[in-house]
Structure 1
Amino acid sequence: MSYRYKVASVFLLGFFIDCINIFMSAVALPSLSATLHVSSSAVAWVGNAYILGLTLIVPVSTWLAARFGSREILTASMLLFAAAVCLCGQADSFHELVIWRFVQGIGGGLLIPVGQALTFNLFHGEQRAKISTLIMAVALIAPAISPTVGGLIVDSSSWRWVFYSNIPFSLIAAGLSWLWIRESKPAELQRPDIKGLLLISAALASLLMGMSLYGGDYPPLAALGFPMAGLIFVAFYLLHYRRCTNAIIELSLLRSKRLSTSIFIYYAIPGVFTGVNLMSIFFLQNTLHFSARLTGMFMILYATGAFIAMTIGGRVYNRVGAKRLFTLGMLLHSAGIATLVLVDVPGDLWLIVSAYSLMGIGGGIGANTAQTTSLMDFAGGDTHKASVIWNINRQVSFSLGAALFLMIFNVLLEPFGPPHAYHATFAIAALVGLLPLLLMNQLNPAKECP
């Protein structure tokens, strides 16, 4: 195997580990919630903590690789990941689990951007397109198979083995990184904006905490204090941004209609789906009493629909344009979510199949179009800055989607009861997923192609 394919293999293995970790753990949340005696809103921090770790470390990972070397950082990231998932499995309390999930996120966040940069620097032209196709394949295969595997693990043993199962893959990735990566330390990079990064992370954590507490067993005013704190951190970041020459988030780039619209779309489709899928997992397992394995298998339908949609969407993008593809993706995705409102009994299996298929097709069209459109207006150094915004947004959308709809469900739970609260939450999610339709006139169909 040539050197560049060795590097690509290390990156793809690490990317696969990150993807299965996100989706496999989700199907175990109802069992984890019951075992550790935590509410459905609190248990969302199993995912939130991981995303916060990723968000904190991704912007500085390239600088760390320049400082200590790519081989060392990639190896350390997977060793840290392996240690963290082991400690997640051994956690005796929910707070321990959340702490180690945060550390696990740091490990995953180190590998992905460094590995991707190394890989893309070794592949050019048509070869880079082939590698991008492999990355997309991993991004679809992992969500398709990991919930089913996670469900089998939960049904046959314990949620703890969902974490333990990551250890062998992480150790293999660490070993291959040490043996195969030969990159020397790059030239010194500009020091990252640590202060800005901490302010953004504090704002995100405060917002997520407020959503988690609101509607639970906490006074509403106390819960609202966290979003207020988040707004204060945002204000501090704005002041910091005006004085900083290397801000972690370059806000001026958001003037690009393509980037800002794509960001909004990502919250409305992948972000909303993350929350809907989490609610669906609890609905199917706790209300309809489906097994964890059967619950996980519906993601195969989602991934299949997404794969077909991405393949077709990529081929017709230049002819059809982002505006039409965005509109079609949102309509199909929200139609799938709305179908879940009609599910009342275990016999409504065909409705669940239809819902996940529609969400997969619509989600595939929307997410792929957003990925393609987001960076079209940038070149040179601005491309890297816009990429930082895009990747932070992508991770944050998952956490906000889960936190938002868990909060809505908890607010509706007491007056409506579980079945109707689930249905109402799905209905609200379907409407929220259509909000970016209001922005479609910003995209000029005649100027979609460069």
Structure 2
Amino acid sequence: MADTTTGTSATARLDPDVRKLGIVIVVGAVTATLDMTMVAVVLADLTRAFRAPVTTVQWVSTAYLLAIATVIPATGRLVERFGTRAMWLFALSAFLVGSALCGLAWSVGSLIAFRALQGVGGGMIVPLSIMIMIRAVEPGQRGRVMALVAMPAQVAPIMGPLIGGMIVDSGSWRWIFYVNVPICLFALVLAWRRIPGDAPSAAGGRWLDVTGLALLAPALALTDYGLSAGARRLPLLAGGIVLLAVFTARSLRSRDVAPLLNLRLFTHRPFSAASMLNFLSRLSIFGVVILVPLYFQEVRGYSALRAGLLLAPQSLGTALALPYVGRLTDRIGARPVVLAGIALSMLSALTFTQVNAHTNEVVIGVALLVWGTGVAAVAVPVSAAAYEELAPTDIPGATSAIMTVQTVGASVGAATLAAILQSRLAHHRDAPATAFADTFWWVLGFTALTLIPALLLPLRRAAAVQARP
């Protein structure tokens, strides 16, 4: 009977109520995903508005990412305690308040602080959207539901820079954040009416590891700040590393409270290899997301809108490659596909190391297209390989850990490459294009490092795994 039900649900149309719920979730999720990509084209305007260096302004992105990395592991525990509907309303409210305060920011310091608050809400939105929709349908319909939930993430890299560019060119950078307010209000009204109430699932059960959270948040912040500030802030970097070590030791030894992150998963070779690859690849990917718009605006003098338009080939490359990458991974396994993706990314990064003030836009566009293809060829197989041979009970913890590693990698990449760019700009005061070319050599080096964990990925065909008794 179960098989029949599953087969029927796999071919049946989604219930109208589920489709309406999906629309409600997409309206809420699109704010967080678009905001992250819209901010990428406004960094140059912020450096001028606040008369602050790149190393400081990049914390507008880094603070948001660090907040996300901190709240993702806590989201599951909070859902167990308060329910998905309550946490969804809280996440949207935190994002709304954070957005409004970002628009009112009077200094770069206040903007960074308000971005962290915004990140608390934004970091919860994506995992919550998955939880709500997965619970709303039968197993046989989860594929279509996940495609619906993933829509904002697919649209954001293309639409975010374009929308952000239009807003900045026609008004003020503050409207990058103000635009979220009416959308969040609309999403809150829809959520209040459409998302069904649910009872907490852990009344008196497992509770949030508050001590682990108190260690992880400052550990990540101090480590990132130490990396971005260079030798002048080595004590802060050391402090961050010490706190990370304490967090790790406590998580591995904890018995009374479920740890914030299940670090024992990293003893599993496919998972640890995929995590390392996720960290290193996000480090270089997010570096390019920051560097390329800055290059167009600071070296070429382009508007935010034009810079956003010129970023489109990267997203196009990823979108075109995704279907083929999935099929190849199923046929020949993760490792060869990932190695091919790294080769494409390195070729693209090598092209960026040769940029100058007059590099042909077509050359840059092709390099971004190739880069986007490489990103897809790395991301999809790594996501699949991370869960290989894990027990079903380990999947939620593995998802939290992977998302945290990805976000930390992106924040470290932003901090590190911004510091390198600032150093090279000081060295090449009269040749900013050379400073960007020098910084892209570091992107190439970080991309090359991903070869190490890539060689540790499983080398087997999907068919072989399925045939195993």
Q: Same fold (TM over 0.5)?
A: yes
Equivalent residue number for residue 315 of structure 2: 303
Secondary structure of the 1:224 match is: helix
Query: Equivalent of 2:243, from 233, 236, 243?
Result: 233
| Post-superposition offset of 1:239 | 3.1
Equivalent residue number for residue 58 of structure 1: 72
Equivalent residue number for residue 166 of structure 2: 152
| Post-superposition offset of 1:267 | 2.6
| Distance in 1 separating the partners of 2:278 and 2:252 | 27
| Distance in 2 separating the partners of 1:123 and 1:292 | 41
Equivalent residue number for residue 217 of structure 1: none
Q: For residues 336 and 49 of structure 1, do their structure 2 counterparts lie closer, same or farther at Cα, with a shift above 3 Å needed?
A: same
Equivalent AA in structure 2 for residue 224 of structure 1 = L
Report which stretch shifted further, 324-333 or 109-118: 109-118
Equivalent AA in structure 1 for residue 360 of structure 2 = D
Q: Deviations over 1:384-403 (max 9, x none)?
A: 22111111112112111111
| Distance in 2 separating the partners of 1:178 and 1:135 | 19
Matched, 1:75 2:89: yes
Matched, 1:348 2:360: yes
Report which stretch shifted further, 74-83 or 24-33: 74-83
TM-score (structure 1 length as normaliser): 0.94
| Post-superposition offset of 1:76 | 2.5
Q: For residues 126 and 365 of structure 1, do their structure 2 counterparts lie closer, same or farther at Cα, with a shift above 3 Å needed?
A: farther
TM-score (structure 2 length as normaliser): 0.90
| Post-superposition offset of 1:126 | 4.2
Task: Give yes or no for contact 1:210–1:227 (8 Å, CA) kept in 2.
Answer: yes
Equivalent residue number for residue 102 of structure 2: 88
| Distance in 2 separating the partners of 1:272 and 1:412 | 18
Q: For residues 202 and 377 of structure 1, do their structure 2 counterparts lie closer, same or farther at Cα, with a shift above 3 Å needed?
A: farther
| Distance in 2 separating the partners of 1:115 and 1:242 | 29
Q: For residues 178 and 243 of structure 1, do their structure 2 counterparts lie closer, same or farther at Cα, with a shift above 3 Å needed?
A: same
Query: Equivalent of 1:203, from 203, 219, 223?
Result: 219
| Distance in 1 separating the partners of 2:143 and 2:283 | 26
Equivalent residue number for residue 347 of structure 2: 335
Q: For residues 71 and 249 of structure 1, do their structure 2 counterparts lie closer, same or farther at Cα, with a shift above 3 Å needed?
A: closer
Secondary structure of the 1:446 match is: coil
CA RMSD of aligned residues (A): 1.8
Equivalent AA in structure 1 for residue 167 of structure 2 = I
| Distance in 2 separating the partners of 1:247 and 1:64 | 13
Equivalent AA in structure 2 for residue 204 of structure 1 = L
| Distance in 2 separating the partners of 1:98 and 1:440 | 35
Secondary structure of the 2:460 match is: helix
Gaps of 5+ in 1: 215-219
| Post-superposition offset of 1:256 | 2.0
Task: Give yes or no for contact 1:10–1:177 (8 Å, CA) kept in 2.
Answer: yes
| Post-superposition offset of 1:407 | 1.7
Equivalent AA in structure 1 for residue 162 of structure 2 = T
Query: Equivalent of 2:414, from 385, 395, 402?
Result: 402
Matched, 1:386 2:386: no
Equivalent AA in structure 2 for residue 211 of structure 1 = L
| Distance in 1 separating the partners of 2:296 and 2:227 | 23
Q: How does 1:97-176 map onto structure 2 within 5 Å?
A: 97-176=111-190
Equivalent residue number for residue 192 of structure 1: 208
Query: Equivalent of 2:335, from 308, 323, 330?
Result: 323
Indicate the percent of aligned positions where both proteins have the same amino acid: 26
Gaps of 5+ in 2: 1-14
| Distance in 2 separating the partners of 1:239 and 1:80 | 32
